[in-house]
Structure 1
Amino acid sequence: MKVHIGPVAPPELTAAVVAAGAEISPAAEATALTWYGAGPERFAEFDHPGLEWVQLPSAGIEAWVAAGALRDGITFTSAAGTYAQTVAEHTLGLMLTGARQLHAMARAENWARPAGMLSLFGATVGIIGAGGIGRALIDLLQPFGVRVLAVNRSGKPVAGAAWTWPADDEAGMDRLLAESDFVVVAAPATAKTAKLVDASALSRMKADAWLINVARGSLVDTDALVEALDAERIGGAALDVTDPEPLPDGHPLFQHPRAIISPHSANPKSLLVPALARRVEENVRRRLAGQPLLGVIDRTAGY
């Protein structure tokens, strides 16, 4: 199998392809393409009739869907699940920071002790979109003895969750929002999940609950969130992703006493490329062996 890596070819990805037993080739001769270093706007430069499979570098594919780049005749795979542990680790950090008010103390200029501290021990954690990241987070939360409520696409039980509901179960979502001390958003960005957490959803959360978004900014209505924080209708929000993104300089969320912002850094580049290389090597091996690929994109579902 001939594989091209581009538009940028990190040495780690080249080594992964070779280690899996495939050949690096020019784009025009490749039957497989490992995409890295640009968005879908450049895909046409590398596309050709002999291309059969494209490995994308991210779990989220909304830009590719919007650009109409996922053409028929090609199997596209995402990096879904590749970065789950890294993002789950960041999520846990955000949860602990909010629970223990570490952000408030880090900003303080005096010895005043902040009010409203929570504990993860024995808390209820709701996970909206309990896929790879959600499952990795559940593993990290085990020492805290939390109760997990989960929502996923299928409604199939998630290991470690007390309850699992399908995404279209309104009663299940209501219960998750009403009972959770921490609501973690980890669902894919699709037309159906746009502004999933809106003013109505925020109003159903506990007054001291924290919203954690490590998915995509589009899943949360930013204006509604700012209003809820200002009115103290929820305990706080910790966001690694925002809408818009990047968040404009001076945006009220940056200095809001109830908000924690990290600049889409749950999966930093220093950790991304090695993890992606492992996925590339595994999928190239699978392709050569005629086995199912990991992360095959469902065009209908949008991820």
Structure 2
Amino acid sequence: MPDTSPTGSQRTILILGATEAAPPEGLLPAPEGARFTFAAGPPLEEALAQADAIFVWHGRGRDIEAAWVAAGRVSWIHAASAGVDKLLSPAIVASDVVVTNSRGIFDGPLAEYALALVLHFAADLGPTLAAQRERRWAPRQYRRLAGRTIVVVGAGPIGRAVGRLAQALGMRVRLVGRGARPDPEWGRIEAVADLPALLPGAAFVVLVAPSTPETQGLFGAAQFAALDPGAVLVNIGRGALVDEGALLEALRSGRLGGAALDVFAEEPLPPDHPLWSEPGVIVSPHMAGDFAGFEAALVARFREELEAWLAGRPLQNVVDKQAGYVRSADPGQRSGSA
């Protein structure tokens, strides 16, 4: 890893996606040895030219690419998110700049959100709510989660948290990662290349993998065809993981029993997109990680990293820019890799 420790008496940290009049809560004051500058968005050339580091707030990482040539002094970028796909332009990937993310903050909240969506379908709450709106008394049976199989695609900390909650409800969990490997917690992580063979028999599939070149279009027509009729898809990872055309076809053919989507290929989801009104679909506005207090937690994590950076200590959550996520030395650790 290149040396990212600052030199000199004071370092300039660009807060991208906020203003000095409305900074992220808990950010101020700047610690000794640092000063904060602010830019809500483009143009960024002047702000980047003065910056030694960047704190990317509110997902504004994509704004950096067009002005990156001006960022001659930047040695560290911290993302207030777990995903960094919008930030990792080819120029940043090729540079010596160290990128860190906010891994760990969203594990539990995202897992809870995913299981809430799974429970919605398991308890058949859609028809219950529809009957309530019609003032119609319509009791019926539903299927328990215990004993049913859930495939979780993404074996990093979020996927593992989903698996633990599902396991606590009595579900059989198949955890899928980049490659097949033994795992001290799960016994075995399955390979994403074997996904078609893992899908038959699954009642639910939860996608939590990051968006990388390898995961683009990960779930398409072949994967939907491999599912048992009535299976449910939950995507809290990235919209690019799913072929939305194939998803709609699977829903309309009856192959898929439902889908809960928090992420989409285009965000915000256009008002005329057919997913808004497709029966059996839950659309949520990329909010699965937005638990009460999440912004304060993101700022606290950034300040921890900033204190380490200013002191020349190692940074945590360093992203492998080629892979697109944080790697762990031991993939079986509770904070393990994707």
Bin for the TM-score computed over the shorter chain: 0.7 to 0.9
Contact 2:24–2:299 (CA under 8 A) maintained in structure 1: no
How far off is 1:70 after superposition? 4.1
Q: Which amino acid aligns with 1:98?
A: F
In the other structure, the counterpart of 1:32 is: 53
In the other structure, the counterpart of 2:251 is: 229
Give the TM-score taking structure 2 as reference length.
0.77
SS, match of residue 6 in structure 1:
strand
Of residues 131, 134, 140, the one that matches 2:156 is 131
SS, match of residue 196 in structure 2:
helix
Contact 1:6–1:35 (CA under 8 A) maintained in structure 2: yes
The 1-side partners of 2:276 and 2:185 are apart by 34
Contact 1:130–1:158 (CA under 8 A) maintained in structure 2: no
The 1-side partners of 2:246 and 2:68 are apart by 41
Is the counterpart of residue 149 in structure 1 residue 204 in structure 2? no
The 1-side partners of 2:91 and 2:212 are apart by 14
Is the counterpart of residue 258 in structure 1 residue 284 in structure 2? no
Contact 2:80–2:299 (CA under 8 A) maintained in structure 1: no
In structure 2, relative to structure 1, the CA distance for the partners of 1:4 and 1:139 (3 Å cut) is same
The 2-side partners of 1:233 and 1:14 are apart by 52
Q: What does 1:204-283 correspond to in 2, within 5 Å?
A: 204-268=226-290, 270-283=292-305
In the other structure, the counterpart of 1:98 is: 121
In the other structure, the counterpart of 1:64 is: 87
In structure 2, relative to structure 1, the CA distance for the partners of 1:190 and 1:248 (3 Å cut) is same
Measured against aligned partners, the alpha-carbon deviations of 1:59-109 in whole angstroms (never above 9, x if no partner) come to: 222222357444512111122333122211111111111111212322332
The 2-side partners of 1:145 and 1:160 are apart by 16
- Report how many residues are paired: 297
Q: Which amino acid aligns with 1:107?
A: A
SS, match of residue 200 in structure 2:
helix
How far off is 1:139 after superposition? 2.8
In the other structure, the counterpart of 1:49 is: 72
Q: Which amino acid aligns with 1:14?
A: L
The 2-side partners of 1:296 and 1:112 are apart by 54
Structure whose alpha-carbon radius of gyration is higher: 2
The 1-side partners of 2:184 and 2:136 are apart by 43
SS, match of residue 62 in structure 1:
coil
In the other structure, the counterpart of 1:121 is: 146
CA RMSD across the alignment: 2.8
SS, match of residue 13 in structure 1:
coil
Of residues 24, 47, 63, the one that matches 1:10 is 24
The answer for unaligned runs of 5 or more in structure 2 is: 1-5, 38-46, 326-338
In the other structure, the counterpart of 1:107 is: 130
In the other structure, the counterpart of 1:86 is: 109
Percentage of identical aligned residues: 34
Measured against aligned partners, the alpha-carbon deviations of 1:130-163 in whole angstroms (never above 9, x if no partner) come to: 2121112223234312211011124344565354
In the other structure, the counterpart of 2:191 is: 166
* Structure with greater helix percent: 1
The answer for unaligned runs of 5 or more in structure 1 is: none
Q: Which amino acid aligns with 2:259?
A: A
Of residues 11, 14, 23, the one that matches 2:34 is 23
The 2-side partners of 1:121 and 1:22 are apart by 54
Which of 39-48 and 128-137 deviates more? 39-48
Give the TM-score taking structure 1 as reference length.
0.85
